[in-house]
Chains A and B, each alone.
Chain A
Amino acid sequence: MGEKEKAKSTRKKKVPQWAKFFPDFIIERDSEKCINCRICVKECSYGAHIWNAKKKELSEDHTKCVGCHRCEAMCPTRAIVIRRNPSDFREHAVWTPWFIKNVYKQADQGGVLLTSTGCTIPFRSYFDHLVLDACQVTNPPIDPLREPMELRTYLGPKPDALEVEAAGEGRFRLKRPLPRQIKLEVPIMFAAMSYGAISLHVHQGLARAARDLGTLYNTGEGGLHASLYEFGGNTIVQCASGRFGLHVDYLKAGVAIEIKIGQGAKPGIGGHLPGEKVTEEISKTRMIPVGSDAISPAPHHDIYSIEDLRGLIFALKEATEYQKLVFVKIAAVHNVAAIASGIVRAGADAVVIDGLKGGTGAAPTMFRDYIGIPIELAVAAVDQRLREEGIRNWASVIASGGIRCSADVIKLIALGADAVYIGTPALIACGCTMCQHCFTGKCPWGIATNHPELIKRLPPEVAYEKIYNLVHGWAHEMKEMLGAMGLNSIESLRGNRDKLRAVGLTETEMKILGVKHAGE
Chain B
Amino acid sequence: MKDISGCGLSGVIHRKGELIPGEVIIKSICCQEERGNGLGAGFAAYGIYPDLADYYALHVMADHRKALEDVEELLAHRTYMAHEEPIPTRRTPGIEDPPLFKRYFVKPKYEGETRQLCEGTEDEDDYMVSLVMEINTRIEGAYVISSGKNMGAFKGVGFPHQIAEFFRIEEYQAYIWTAHNRFPTNTPGWWGGAHPFTILDWSIVHNGEISSYGTNRRYLEMFGYHCTLLTDTEVVAYLLDLLIRRHRLPIEVACMALAPPFWQEIDRMPQEERELATAVRTVYGAAMLNGPFAILFAYNGGLVGLNDRVKLRPLVAAEKGDMVYMASEEAAIRAICPDPDRVWAPKAGEPVIVELEPGSIPNQRSYLRGPGEKTGAAVCRYPG
Contact surface of A with B, Cβ cutoff 8 Å: 135, 137-140, 142, 147-148, 150, 152, 154, 157-167, 170-175, 177-179, 181, 344, 347, 387, 390-395, 485-489, 491-499
Partner of A162, one of B2, B222, B247: B247
11 contacts between A and B (CB under 8 A): A138-B209, A148-B263, A161-B246, A164-B249, A165-B376, A172-B253, A173-B272, A387-B221, A391-B383, A489-B288, A495-B214
Q: In the complex, which residues of chain A have a beta carbon less than 8 angstroms from the beta carbon of B263?
A: 148, 150, 152
Tell me if A150 and B280 are in contact (CB < 8 A).
no
Contact across chains for B291 and A486 when beta carbons are under 8 A apart:
yes
For B2, what are the chain A residues with a Cβ–Cβ distance below 8 Å? 498
Q: Does B342 contact A (CB under 8 A)?
A: no
Query: Cα distance A279–B380 when bound, in Å?
Result: 52
| A164-B375, A387-B222, A395-B383 known; A489 vs B272 contact (CB < 8 Å) | no
**Closest chain A residue, CB of each to CB of B260:** A489
Q: Does B211 contact A (CB under 8 A)?
A: yes
Distance of A175 Cα from B276 Cα, bound (Å): 10
Selected from A161, A162, A171, A491, the residue in CB contact (under 8 A) with B286 is: A491
Shortest distance from the beta carbon of B231 to any chain A beta carbon, whole Å:
13
With contact pairs A164-B250, A178-B282, A493-B215 given, residues A487 and B384 touching in the complex (Cβ less than 8 Å):
no
Report chain B residues within 8 Å CB of A495: 214-215, 218-219, 286
B381 contacts A by Cβ under 8 Å: yes
What chain B residues lie within 8 Å of A135 (beta carbons)?
211
Partner of B380 from the list A157, A163, A487 (CB cut-off 8 Å) is A163
| Chain B 362-384 interface 0/1 with A at a Cβ cutoff of 8 Å (1 = within) | 00000001101001111111111
Interface residues of B in 154-188 (CB under 8 A from A): 185
Give complex CA distance A170, B255 in Å: 14
Q: A142-B310, A166-B375 are in contact. List 18 more A-B contacts (CB 8 A).
A: A138-B5, A159-B283, A159-B380, A159-B383, A160-B380, A161-B378, A162-B279, A165-B375, A165-B376, A170-B252, A171-B272, A172-B252, A179-B382, A387-B221, A394-B384, A487-B211, A492-B212, A494-B285
Min distance, Cβ A174 to any Cβ of chain B, angstroms:
6
Interface SS majority for chain B? loop
Whether A347 touches B283, Cβ cut-off 8 Å, given contacts A150-B262, A162-B249, A172-B252, is no
A165 near B372: Cβ-Cβ < 8 Å: yes
What's the minimum C-beta distance from B242 to chain A, rounded to whole angstroms? Answer: 9
Which residues of B does A touch, CB under 8 Å? 2, 4-6, 185, 208-209, 211-215, 217-219, 221-223, 246-247, 249-250, 252-253, 262-264, 272-273, 275-276, 278-286, 288, 290-292, 309-310, 312, 369-370, 372, 375-384
Min CB distance, A394 to chain B, in Å?
Answer: 4
Q: Would you give the shortest CB distance from A95 to chain B, in whole angstroms?
A: 47
A489 / chain B contacts, CB cutoff of 8 Å: 285, 288, 290
User: Chain A: interface secondary structure?
Assistant: loop
Q: Known contacts being A157-B383, A496-B214, is A139 close to B291, with CB within 8 Å?
A: yes
B272, B278, B288, B292: the one contacting A492 at CB < 8 Å is B288
Q: Decide if A488 touches B309 in the complex (CB within 8 Å).
A: yes
Residues of B close to A167: CB separation below 8 A: 272
Q: What separation, in Å, do the CA atoms of A393 and B273 have in the docked complex?
A: 23
Q: In whole angstroms, how far apart are the Cα atoms of A392 and B247 in the complex? A: 17
Instruction: Rank and list the top 5 A-B pairs by shortest CB-CB distance, nearest first.
Output: A498-B214, A491-B285, A161-B377, A492-B212, A492-B290
Which B residues touch A177, using CB under 8 A? 275, 279
B291 touches A162 (CB 8 A): no
Determine the residue in chain B with the shortest Cβ distance to A178: B279
Least CB distance, B98 to chain A, in whole angstroms:
27
Residues of A within 8 A of B312 (CB): 140
Complex alpha-carbon distance, A245 and B384, angstroms: 28
- Report how far A160 CA is from B185 CA in the complex, Å: 35
The answer to whether B214 and A166 have CB atoms under 8 Å apart is no
A175 to B217 Cα, complex, angstroms: 28
Contact partner of B218 (CB less than 8 A), chosen from A171, A387, A393, is A387
Do the beta carbons of A488 and B253 come within 8 Å of each other?
no
Q: Are B310 and A173 neighbours in the complex by a CB distance under 8 Å? A: no
Within the complex, which residue of A152, A154, A163, A166 is in contact with B369, where a contact is CB–CB below 8 Å? A166
The answer to whether B221 touches A159 (Cβ under 8 A) is no
Query: How near does chain A come to B248, taking the closest CB pair, in angstroms?
Result: 8
Query: Is the beta-carbon distance between B285 and A161 smaller than 8 angstroms?
Result: no
A161 touches B218 (CB 8 A): no
Q: Which of A139, A147, A164, A393 contacts B383 (CB 8 A)?
A: A393
Contacting pair A178 B286 (CB below 8 A): no
A452 to B221 alpha-carbon distance, docked (Å): 56
Contact of A491 among B208, B217, B281, B381 (CB under 8 A): B281
- List chain A residues, Cβ under 8 A from B279: 162, 174, 177-178
